[in-house]
Structure 1
């Protein structure tokens, strides 16, 4: 299942990618994200790059890279094929001035390498400092060795040999999210603590309690209904209930003092 999802999201020549592109469209070299008019399945799948593994950022995008072969299947501006970020982030001014924001690496190389015709890359004549950015950008292309008989591919940085796997992604997410709480985990799962208490605290630290903000995220209730159950007027979150709420926050503090 994990391999299938991976190929569906990034394999632009695959059948599923083409079907989804026809259904939802493509923007910035990627499939458009689901909106309220999309199916619940597609909306959930799109969120894989954003909120799976809270606290580790855009973990999916950060661990894939485009490996250039012939350069025809890689977006020059949008894909991460050189460096750590897309070139539209590294050279935002040039990206805004580019006539063709969807051009491939191979096409950009042909135009920049030509003696004439470079001016058709940009919407207007460039200033001197912008020309300097073009020269820096050109150096990236000069360092690329194209292979005419090899198609561009995706690589999974966590396992270059075997590629993406659910096990590898799960191990990465668990390791990354639990490193900062390792000392807490030891205390949480202490043998003298009742298991139901350990489970509750574990869910609290990872924001997995059935608070109203989580219900909103899962579209069980609307934003208008996410007010704290105490009636204080603030949005109900785990941090608010246990720390910030004028009513419940003071209650937990008194319980803590009593126990000690």
Structure 2
């Protein structure tokens, strides 16, 4: 689950962090350095040197605001006395935060950028993860999920269409196999991808063509019988 959250194998990067923002109210729950609450990236990345020197790296926005300002003793925040160029970063940070006003009666909240009105949902996250990347014929995708087709068959075909099967090219990309181990298991010498293994391989491609023909004939017969019975 943590791997999915970090975008492992999905090709969408840090999708959760990129689509969520901290909306600051009283500042007691939002983390000053770690959360994206001002700007587009966390302050620990925007002011990485200051973050390294910070005494309390887990402080909240409210706690940090108590000592932020030209006359509020910034020196208490750092592990040592700052150099001239580091003090310039402090002034830049202060300018960025100058107009931030905390609201004592409003709690901090999260905002899901993909659906700011309804908020985060598993359905919305699933739709985002499964539609990001190469475009896919939605009609073909929907036809996979039929109630008369065994779920394991639908899942297998869905993974094949989405290039989610553990073929060697995918295993190398996920650092399961070494980058030199990409040759098709049949020994044909070609790169083992889903398309090659199921369509173009001289050995397995011809085998799967017979399997697909038998499978689709079976599914067509089952669909016809169910529609006739109903």
Name the structure 2 match of 1:194.
Answer: none
Query: Gapped runs of 5+ residues in structure 2?
Result: 142-154, 207-230
- Counterpart mapping for 1:199-218 below 5 A: 203-204=159-160, 206-211=162-167
Corresponding pairs, count: 190
Match among 164, 168, 176 for residue 120 of structure 2 = 164
CA distances 1:175-202 after superposition (whole Å, capped 9, x unpaired): 432xx435xx48x88xxxxxxxxx9997
Name the structure 2 match of 1:181.
Answer: 135
Per the TM alignment, residue 124 of structure 1 is displaced from its structure 2 partner at its CA by 2.1
Alpha-carbon separation, structure 2, partners of 1:116 and 1:62? 33
Match among 98, 111, 117 for residue 142 of structure 1 = 98
Q: Answer whether contact 2:22 2:37 (CA < 8 A) is retained.
A: yes
Alpha-carbon separation, structure 2, partners of 1:212 and 1:139? 51
Match among 14, 21, 33 for residue 58 of structure 1 = 14
2:212 counterpart of 1:238:
no
Change (3 A) 1:176 1:118: same
SS of the residue aligned with 1:94?
A: helix
CA distances 1:60-80 after superposition (whole Å, capped 9, x unpaired): 111111111111111111011
SS of the residue aligned with 1:154?
A: strand
SS of the residue aligned with 1:155?
A: strand
Alpha-carbon separation, structure 2, partners of 1:161 and 1:116? 38
RMSD of the TM alignment (CA)?
4.2
Alpha-carbon separation, structure 2, partners of 1:73 and 1:63? 19
Alignment TM-score, normalising by the size of structure 2: 0.64
Q: Answer whether contact 2:30 2:108 (CA < 8 A) is retained.
A: yes
SS of the residue aligned with 2:36?
A: coil
SS of the residue aligned with 1:112?
A: coil
- Which protein has the larger Cα radius of gyration, Structure 1 or Structure 2? 2
SS of the residue aligned with 2:111?
A: strand
Name the structure 2 match of 1:95.
Answer: 51
Query: Gapped runs of 5+ residues in structure 1?
Result: 1-44, 190-198, 244-248, 256-260
Change (3 A) 1:161 1:74: same
Name the structure 2 match of 1:109.
Answer: 65
